[in-house]
Amino acid sequence: MPRSETGDLPNRHTLKMGELIRKAREEAGLTQEELAKKTYRKKLAVHQMETGKVEINAWTIVYLSEALKKPITYFYPEWDTEYDPKEDDLSDLEKELILNFRFFETDGLKRLFIKFTKLFSKYNPGLDFADMLYEKTTDNLDYAASSFIESYYKSAVENNTAEDK
């Protein structure tokens, strides 16, 4: 399975974009081959776009927009754009998170951090635990973070072990 910057393909995003491209192509009365010529691509590339097997770059979106007489935003699923926070919408904690994220030196570390963040968002020992830990250890946030990760890791291992049985 092909991989992209954001993971395996096809994924939710590429599948929905492909669906939108196919719909617009059919509305325009074009074959995949005709659309390929209008977008300076091969027929196989159009097929791969429509089936979500490739990520579509910005220039391709421009060509698709022109060929299919659709605005560029048409090709982005609503849920991709409905939560596109502006800086004014971010809390101070969110801004701090983004600022610290930028200090990671490698893409590998950034991807790992994103994975941890997604895992933490699923972790719910009771939101009270994280808040309680923070409140009790505000003078030693390193200890609070270590304790939280240790507790999370223990819970994750227990859950994975239980699922393996």
H-helix or E-strand spanning residue 3? strand 3-4
Tell me how far apart the alpha carbons of residues 35 and 42 are, in angstroms, rounded to a whole number.
9
Q: According to the model, what pLDDT value does residue 6 have?
A: 54
Output phi, psi for 4, to 5 deg.
-130, -175
SS3 9: coil
DSSP one-letter code for 69:
T
What pLDDT was estimated at residue 140?
Answer: 67
**CA gap 93, 85 in Å, rounded:** 14
- Copy the structure tokens of residue 165: 């049985």
Q: What is the pLDDT of residue 123?
A: 60
Which residues fall within 8 angstroms of residue 84, CB to CB, at 6 or more apart? none
CA dihedral 94, 95, 99, 102 (to 10 degrees): 60
Strand partners, 8: 3
Q: What is the pLDDT along the chain (165 residues), one digit of tens a residue?
A: 565 555 678 888 889 899 999 999 999 999 999 999 999 999 999 999 999 999 999 999 999 999 999 998 888 877 655 555 667 778 888 888 888 888 888 888 888 888 777 776 666 555 566 666 667 666 666 776 677 677 766 766 666 555 544
